[in-house]
Amino acid sequence: MRAWRVESHGGREALKQIEIPKPEPRAGEVRVRVAATGLNHLDLWVRKGVPGHQFPLPLTLGTDSSGTIESFGPGDTERLVPSLKIGSRVLVSPGISCGHCEACLSGFDPLCPHYGILGETCDGGLAEFIVVPYANLIPIPDSISFEEAAALPIPFLTAWTMVFRKIQLKAGETILIHAGGSGVSAAAIQIAKMTGATVITTIGKRENDARVRALGADHVIFYREESFREGLKRILKPLGKKGVEAVIDHVGQDTFADSVKSLAWGGRLACCGATSGSSVEIDLKVLFFKNIALHGATMGSKADLIRIVQLVAEKKLNPVIDTVLSFEELPDGLERIENRQVFGKLIIQGQK
């Protein structure tokens, strides 16, 4: 089968479409014919490499995939869930964990000592087929397209973890969500809005103003025209607030220190990435005097992804898709992510 592989890190040339053997499912595993895969910043990190971090190269890219069940491992045909049989439409939950430890059994599998992510710690879905544990399959109803399903896992799961499990946002609070056009923030705006909070977001281009407002943003700051600190002052003054109760920041170096300063007393900040760099300086006095909490987050519980799929089926959450690209267009897609020329998600179709 053909697959998009990274054998050594680098630029566009590091992405190689090559022929590899079709993977065989073992007992407890399932082979899925991939119909669509959502691209993430993670795919770019795998291509470029991360200083001080070792990816298990060569590696097939692709974390968020959907498709149809093609075959089961030996002795495992249609054994547990009647809705999961050959040909069933499924979303592949990207977190792989042991299933036996305290973290797994208590429902927050990202803390499993054996936790891994498809396309990062093992082969992902940018191939004709992917083999995953049975437990990683989530059935999807016909009302959710393969492309929509593939737009969900990393952005929605991470946003869900930050808003509900970490920040625990409440109705009446105000949250600042940086980079509203990014996949995770477009998900976070919708999820934060569900709580009844006031949502403020930042974007670079005025042309995306209506799009973030349609997702649920109450206030928009154009960070190329005014600093977000100035924008917040302008927005918060009529609300009688001096700071926001919550911030979601995955920009990192360029924004983090000011994000911490923007928090109200008792404020909470969640960070799920650092696209502008990860070295930051914060004044600890601000942290303890103002009783501020800083949370790190990556991915989320398999159970939460099931809930997200249900809410998408009910049209209460909406996948945000910029463009659907062909399998061959992967290198162009990653360049667009690198150059921040995307609103929401880019989806790569399976092979024709």
Residues lying near Zn ion in the complex (CB under 5 A) are found at 97-98, 101, 104, 112
Least distance from C-beta 309 to Zn ion, angstroms? 22
For 83, list phi and psi in degrees, rounded to 5.
Answer: -75, -5
Q: Which spans in 151-301 are helix H? A: 158-160, 183-194, 209-215, 228-236, 256-261, 284-289
The residue among 50 and 105 lying less far from Zn ion, judged by its C-beta, is: 105
The residue among 298 and 318 lying less far from Zn ion, judged by its C-beta, is: 298
Least distance from C-beta 116 to Zn ion, angstroms? 11
DSSP state of 119: T
The residue among 97 and 174 lying less far from Zn ion, judged by its C-beta, is: 97
Nearest residue (beta carbon) to Zn ion: 112
Least distance from C-beta 101 to Zn ion, angstroms? 3
Strand 321-325 relative to strand 263-271, pairing: unpaired
Strand 95-96 relative to strand 29-38, pairing: unpaired
Least distance from C-beta 103 to Zn ion, angstroms? 5
Q: Which helix (H) or strand (E) holds 104?
A: helix 102-105
**What is the chain's percent helix, strand, coil content, to nearest 5?**
30, 25, 40
Least distance from C-beta 299 to Zn ion, angstroms? 13
Q: Are the C-beta atoms of 170 and 191 separated by less than 8 Å?
A: no
The residue among 104 and 140 lying less far from Zn ion, judged by its C-beta, is: 104
Q: Are the C-beta atoms of 162 and 270 separated by less than 8 Å?
A: yes
Least distance from C-beta 139 to Zn ion, angstroms? 23
208: amino acid identity, one letter: N
The residue among 67 and 95 lying less far from Zn ion, judged by its C-beta, is: 95
The residue among 1 and 101 lying less far from Zn ion, judged by its C-beta, is: 101
Q: How far apart are CA 104 and CA 100, in angstroms?
A: 6
